[in-house]
Amino acid sequence: MKTPLHLNLLKEEEHFSSSPVRLRVMMPTAAVFVALCSIAWFFLLVGKVHTQAHLNEKLKQAVASITPVYAAVLDSRAQEQEYRAMARQLGIYTNSRILFGESLSLIAARVPSCIQFTEMRIPQPTLADPAHPSAAPTNRFEQVFLRISGRTSGDHPSEAVNTLLAELRTPVFTNLLRSVSIPKGAFRQDNARSASNRDTLLFEITCECQPRRFE
């Protein structure tokens, strides 16, 4: 049996690749493509930066134009909040009022004829810092006192004061006064040097009123 003999007479450098695109053609083409893509990306980036810069400038102009309006709005809001706080404080103080008029009008008919009032005063609470008084109450309750000062004369001046004290403790005044007392040392002789004042006795009565409720 005869075996066919195949001879390859081509030189090694004359052999062709089986790929339809040769490497020496593909490499320059790929390099050109990458260069074109890089140039396109560069111009795209430059355009985007320019657009952002233009948008940033427009935003700065818009912010500059609305800044005065925004400041005015903030100022108006601050004033509105301050007025609301003031209105709330006024409402609290209005609700916490203690009405003395009706009760005090009843005292005149119950004062003995030998007694003369020289002062009726409601002391104000002492401020913790007088230089910076508080604009609103810091506690829910505030004690209120009524101080009554006067003079009496006659044969039994102390009895007249005790009579007035008993009258102030009657149920007529309990809606206003919680307790009535004569402080220690409140009875004293009038030091005025005249015959009419020799038998005159000065006194002071402290009345603890119903507390003010800040609600």
All residues at 6 or more sequence positions from 151 whose CB lies less than 8 Å from its CB, including other chains: 115, 116, 118, 190, 200, 201, 202, 203
Q: How far apart are CA 55 and CA 44, in angstroms?
A: 16
pLDDT at 172 (0 to 100): 87
Which structural domain range is residue 205 located in?
Answer: 101-126+140-213
Report pTM.
0.54
Asked if residue 156 and residue 78 are part of one domain, the reply reads: no
Number of domains in the chain: 2
Tokens 């005159």 correspond to 200
pLDDT at 79 (0 to 100): 92
Mean pLDDT by 10 residues, the chain (215 residues): 62 55 68 84 87 86 84 90 87 82 85 89 66 61 88 83 90 87 81 59 90 79
Q: Is residue 197 part of a domain?
A: yes
pLDDT at 204 (0 to 100): 92
Which domain CATH number covers 122?
A: 3.30.1360.100
Identity of the amino acid at 69: V
